[in-house]
Each structure stands twice: as C-alpha cells, then as structure tokens.
Amino acid sequence: MDNVTITALDFERCYRAVSTRDSRFDGQFFTAVRTTGIYCRPSCPAITPKRTNVSFLPTAAAAQQAGYRACRRCLPDAAPGSPLWNVRADLAARAMRLIGDGVIERGGVPELAATLGYSQRQLTRVLTTELGAGPLALARAHRAHTARLLIQTTDMPMSDIAFAAGFASIRQFNDTVREVFAVSPTTMRTESRRSPRNDVEAPATPGLLTLRLPYREPLDTGWLAWFLSAHTVPGMELWENGVYTRSLRTPHGHATIGLSFRPGHVRAELALRDMRDLAPTVARLRHLLDLDADPLGIDEALGITSNVGDASPFTAGIRVPGCLDGPELLLRTMIGQQISVRAAATHTARLVEALGERIEGPVPLLFPTPAAIAEHGAEVLTGPARRIAAIVSAARAIADGELVLHSGRTADDLRCDLLALDGVGPWTADYVTMRSLADPDILLDTDLVVRQGAALADIDLADTERWAPWRSYLSMHLWKTALVQRGAVPLPTYS
C-alpha cells in the first residue's frame, strides 16, 4: 500500500489499513469515529467501525480540533510520528518539525512564523489547509501528549506538570486533559498505576523518566548500535552494555539520556534539569534514531524483502542517524574531516574536556557552545592550521547568528549556506544536511566508503534516480556493506 498523502487522504486506502489494523500507518493518519466521538490510530484493536461512521484526519490536532477525544485503548497520541514530515520539505512539514521541538512553547506563534519567514496569517492559513489545524492547535496537541507522559511517569504535582507541559494556567491544563483524554489528570494518574501503557513505564527514581519510544518495524538495531558506539566522545558520551548514554543541552538547561534497544521499542531514560524540555528532548531522540521512518516503504523502493533467498545485498530496516544538535553536528563533522572515526573522537574529546561545561552525572561534560569554540578553539584544537581556522570560523558564524542550523530550514538553503563556509565541501554539506534535516534523498556519492560499498553491491552511483527519494538510506546501506566487508561493524543482536 502506498503512503497516504496529507492533503488528500484516500478513504479506501485508509479504511483498508484500519480494517487490517496495519501498524505501519500509525501516526500517518487518524481515524475519527462519529458515533463514539473518539479518534484512534489505524492499528487500534477495537472493532472496526462502519464505513459510514468514520472519517480520516491527518493529525491528532485536527481530530482534537474537530471535538474528538483520544482513544484510551490505543493511545493515538503515542503513535510514531509521520514519516512525511521528513519526506516533505514544504512549509507545513518544516513547521511540524519546529513545533515538535517546542518553538511555540518558547516564543509563541510569532517566533514560529519568523523562523520560517512567513507572516502569522499565512502560516495559520497553510497549516489549517494542509493539516486540519492551526499552529496553536498543533502545539496544544503536543502539550497534551507531554502532560500525559508527565502524569503517568512522575509524581510531580499537577500544578508543576501544567507549566512544564507548556500550559499558560492550571485551568487550561485541566480543561485540555479532560477534553482530549476524557478523564481528569488525577484519574489518569490513578489508572496509569493499575495498567501498563505502551509508551511509558512505572515511575523510576526521582528525577528520572523512563519512556518507551515506539517505531515502525523492522529496525536494524545492529547498524544504529554500531553508529552510536563507534562515534562516542569520552566525557560526553558512553556506550556500555548496549546502552548509549550522553549529555546534551536543552532549551532550558541540560539533560542526560540513556537509550537501549528493546523488542518493539527503544527504552529511553531521561534526567532533565527542567521538565519543560521533555517534549523537545523526546523529539530530538526520535530524530537521532530516525524512529519515524517507514521502513517497509523504503525497503520496498530499494528492493529489499524479508524473503528467504532475497537477492538484495542489504538488510531490512536500516535507519539514517539524525542528530541532537545542529551546531554540534557541523563542528564535529569538520573536526573529523580526513581523519579516522577514532581520531575524530580523540580530537573532539580534547575539545570537550577543555571547553565543555561540567555537569553532574555519568557523562559529566556538555559539548562546548559555538561561542566558546569561536573564542578559545584555536588554543585547543590541533591539526592543520587551515582546518582549525575553518572550525573556529564556522563556530563564530553560528555564535553570531550568521549561520542558522535548525530543523525548519530547507535542504537547498542549508546546503548553500554550508558550502559558503571556508573548509566545507560538498561531502560535509551533504552529510550535515542529511543528518540535521533527516533529508531522505541525499546520496553521499563522493564518500570513499560509500563508493567501496557500491562496488561490492555492483551499483552504479551515477545511475541512482530509480531509488529516489530514498537515497540517504541507500547511502547507509552502501556504507554498512563496505564496513561489514572490512569486519569493522559488529552486529549485536537484541531479543
């Protein structure tokens, strides 16, 4: 079945997905049932509603805007995000990425509109037409989801949860939870203690949240495990016993996260300095692991199946690792140019040790701010003088606001700005654009390892149009093919 487009949901395809409880479409659209006033994810285990009683909506916010309540059985707000926000590069998709990162909670609709370069009226009109809800309604849906997570995973007072989730008042918080979930916040907490949910676990130690991050199967955990473990920087990252731990800056402070792969989900342990950072941190973790991808659709386009004797040299469910912070990604990539992954980690660790902010926890350092690198990077970095100057210059451009790295940019504009920097060539610009924007169609055809993988897989890198728009995933397959042949990629398995 083809992916469902946002602006013109096909009733027959949607109803077929609901009838077969196809989890692949969870998050891509929502089923609103007029007779019950409830909206569900396509895979909801409830009895399939009659055709005459359902309509299909592109976002949970659109369903809430239309007066529907979230199903308490399938928790549609906990579905994986739509893969279309990465495939599409239009205004609506870029706005959704920024809303997920909490821009409206921090600066309101004016900041969102200014970041995207549109007027508030234009932005509201486009989002309402494309997604069935305006920016405030879309942000409200995110707040409701964040509130539910905090209610079910912490013992925080409800008043603290209200403001941590981004609500302007306790009354607004109470009204929204009742309207969206049909229960009061207190009742929701009581019920959560009685039965396990599909995206939360029982409250852990004070200050530590444990969440289950869902994804669409299959997931090549071996590839993600290698990527995370191979690029760890001592002091700010740690890979130990199958758990990836790191510290990162968040909009209101910092956090320490721990990720491990489990059957059907990624287990995430979050220690947040400020609970207002929960939603953007979760969004960044999902982006890092590419958890909102549609692997079946991608694998089908690349000719990968799960059949025995499959002729494809590739494995199912590969992901394109994203990033947690755009400026960090660019600066780390520039540090690692023309040296080995291990050497890059060593150089970066030296920079982090000298200029990174110290925090408490198992990974006690944060990556240095661009301003700190711009001011003192030349004193710490080693290697060719030209490369050091390029890194310091890039850091200064970020610190001064001349270079903007956020998920609401278009790939063409970001790539153009990156190429304008000294010391940044096509490979670096493509690699950073691919990972920072989750762009699915960037072929790293100048990469030496990708070229080696292409030779092993007998693929002509000059003739890849048939794999559009999934050439970022093709790049990862070729990268992995070459590294496996070298014996450089151990593939841990998880049961």
- Among the listed residues 77, 101, 430, 447, the single catalytic one is 447
Hey, what are 488's tokens? 């450089």
Q: Tell me if residue 40 is catalytic.
A: yes
Integer Cα distance of 437 and 87 in angstroms: 10
Return the residue matching tokens 């959704």. Answer: 96
Residue the block writes with tokens 């309540």:
69
Catalytic residue among 40, 44, 74, 323: 40
Residues designated catalytic: 40, 447
